[in-house]
Amino acid sequence: MRTMRDTTPMKIGCHDPMRNIFYINLSDGRDFVMYQPRKKDRGGQKKAWKQISDDNKRRYRRANYMDVGLYDMNERCKFPLYKGEVPGMMPLSVEVDERIVGFCDFFFRYGEDFPNFNVDPEDKIGNASIVALDKYQGIGVGHYFSLLTEFIARHYECQWILGVTFPTGGTWRIRRKHGWETIGRQGKIIYHRKRL
């Protein structure tokens, strides 16, 4: 797949709120899409999941430090459509050019569940972790993931998007470029946040 690093976002939006399909139109004509998978998507999801190394899966799982992520592709595809509830969870598949390039777990909670982040207890919080397929690392998936998850958190009326990530490997650097504030560090874990 061609890199997306030389592209810019042209338009960002929700294509279908009844199916949780979110997109960014890229300047080269492609679309970066995040959507909640359905039963019919199971085969493709399983195939894509197998193309991620154990190490990258481990990082993805560890980033879900509070909630247990959904790593079974059958369960992901049967999961009820997320409609804005708190607590809530939305499993998402990430696609470019109709090819799966990654996975995302998006959690919604109240601030009271995030004592390390210095946010109001009643604020609605979005928290997303991602993994890109090994062969699609370094071509812009993380960059556009960061932009689109902010949009999704706003779409669901979150006041904050929060993250727990690692000092090496991309997400922290990418999000700092997108205006995230680092608020703490414990060993190899970084806490950061952005007001929406």
Q: How far is the CB of 86 from ligand COA (least distance, A)?
A: 21
Stretch that binds ligand COA, among 10-18, 72-80, 110-118, 162-170 (CB under 6 A): 162-170
Cβ(48)–Cβ(133) under 8 Å? yes
Nearest CA to 14 among 74, 89, 84, 108?
A: 84
Cα distance between residue 66 and residue 181, in whole Å: 20
19/176 with CB nearer ligand COA: 176
Burial status of residue 47 (CB atoms within 10 A of its CB: 0-12, 13-18, 19 or more): exposed
Q: By CB under 6 A, tell whether 165 contacts ligand COA.
A: yes
Half-sphere exposure of 156 (CA within 13 A, CB side): 29
Nearest CA to 60 among 86, 92, 96?
A: 92
Per-residue x/- marks for ligand COA, 28-67, CB under 6 A?
A: ----------------------------x--xx--x----
Per-residue x/- marks for ligand COA, 166-195, CB under 6 A?
A: ---xxx-xx--x------------------
Per-residue x/- marks for ligand COA, 101-130, CB under 6 A?
A: ----------------------------xx
Cα distance between residue 95 and residue 84, in whole Å: 23
Cα distance between residue 183 and residue 185, in whole Å: 7
Per-residue x/- marks for ligand COA, 129-158, CB under 6 A?
A: xxxx----xxxxxxx---------------
Cα distance between residue 111 and residue 160, in whole Å: 9
Q: How far is the CB of 39 from ligand COA (least distance, A)?
A: 26
Binding site for ligand COA (CB under 6 A): 4-5, 7, 56, 59-60, 63, 129-132, 137-143, 165, 169-171, 173-174, 177
